[in-house]
Amino acid sequence: MTVDLLLGLQWGDEGKGKIVDVLTSKY
């Protein structure tokens, strides 16, 4: 989860949107 949060901060809003899709599919 920590890695996903770090990637979200680096990518910005667009990255967060993609991460949310991945997290929802996994969890």
Work out the angle at residue 19's Cα, subtended by the Cα atoms of residues 13 and 9, and round it to the nearest 5 degrees. Answer: 45
For residue 20, give both structure tokens: 């949310």
Report d(CA 15, CA 19) in Å as an integer. Answer: 6
User: Per residue in 1-27, pLDDT tens?
Assistant: 577 666 666 666 665 677 777 778 765
Whole-number pLDDT of residue 23: 75
Report the pLDDT value the prediction gives residue 19, as an integer from 0 to 100: 72
In this prediction, residue 14 carries a pLDDT of 66
